[in-house]
Chain A
């Protein structure tokens, strides 16, 4: 069964460093998303991406964050100059259509020290 895959599963980085979280969405899906979940809190929307551009972003998704689809399969989230409060589980998701079933990856646990 097709699935969304994320790498790495866990990343530890020093405050101020840049990190890139990688995702391979399901191959025939057209809409891509990043969400995050701070420990003990709700899953929060960060950004949606369609047709090679950002379609919506939350207030969390400031200039520190960027997304890219560098080729036909990968979808990346870059966090520049990480802060302690960026520590969270980051989930990638994809869907075939705009409001169809969303499928999530297993997440990348980011720890900023």
Chain B
């Protein structure tokens, strides 16, 4: 059974810092990994999708890397801003069988960027 873990559980940084969020998964047989942002009481906003054949994806100040064989992904946020404050979720889609795109989520990292 796939298990996804995110470290740290919470992170508080001053504005302008570069930061790294970590995600690990126990079963390396994945189709893809997706990073989401969740604001309090709101839905999930997709940030980046990395296919299993890819090493990284970039969108603006965000860069996500994937090391499938070791079961790890990182989300790098450059020059953090107060508006980046949210919970960041990592989710994987398992390969094989009849997964049909089911996502398994980590518990999230709560990020606070203070001015």
Interface residues of A (CB under 8 A from B): 6, 31, 33, 35, 41-45, 48, 50, 55-56, 89, 91, 93, 95, 97-107, 109
How many angstroms between the C-alpha atoms of A69 and B101 in the bound complex? 18
Interface residues of B (CB under 8 A from A): 31-32, 34, 36, 41-46, 49, 89, 91, 93, 95, 98-108
A61 CB to closest chain B CB (Å) equals 11
B43 lies within 8 A of A105 (CB): yes
B64 CB to closest chain A CB (Å) equals 13
How many angstroms between the C-alpha atoms of A50 and B45 in the bound complex? 22
Q: Would you list the 5 A-B pairs with minimal beta carbon distance, nearest first?
A: A106-B43, A99-B31, A104-B44, A55-B100, A43-B105
A91 lies within 8 A of B104 (CB): no
A25 CB to closest chain B CB (Å) equals 13
A102 lies within 8 A of B42 (CB): no
- Given the interface contacts A42-B106, A42-B107, A104-B36, does A95 sit within 8 Å of B101 by beta carbon? yes
B62 CB to closest chain A CB (Å) equals 15
Chain B hits for A93, CB < 8 A? 44, 103
**Which of A33, A93, A102, A105 counts the most B-chain CB atoms under 10 A from its CB?**
A102
**Which of A55, A89, A95, A99 counts the most B-chain CB atoms under 10 A from its CB?**
A99
How many angstroms between the C-alpha atoms of A6 and B43 in the bound complex? 10
B31 CB to closest chain A CB (Å) equals 4
Chain B hits for A100, CB < 8 A? 49, 101
Chain A hits for B46, CB < 8 A? 101-104
B103 lies within 8 A of A55 (CB): no
B81 CB to closest chain A CB (Å) equals 22
Besides A95-B101, A99-B99, 16 new A-B residue pairs in contact (Cβ under 8 A), listed by A number:
A42-B106, A43-B105, A48-B100, A48-B101, A56-B99, A56-B100, A56-B102, A93-B44, A98-B101, A99-B101, A104-B46, A105-B43, A106-B42, A106-B43, A107-B42, A107-B43
B13 CB to closest chain A CB (Å) equals 23
A1 CB to closest chain B CB (Å) equals 11
Chain B hits for A107, CB < 8 A? 42-43
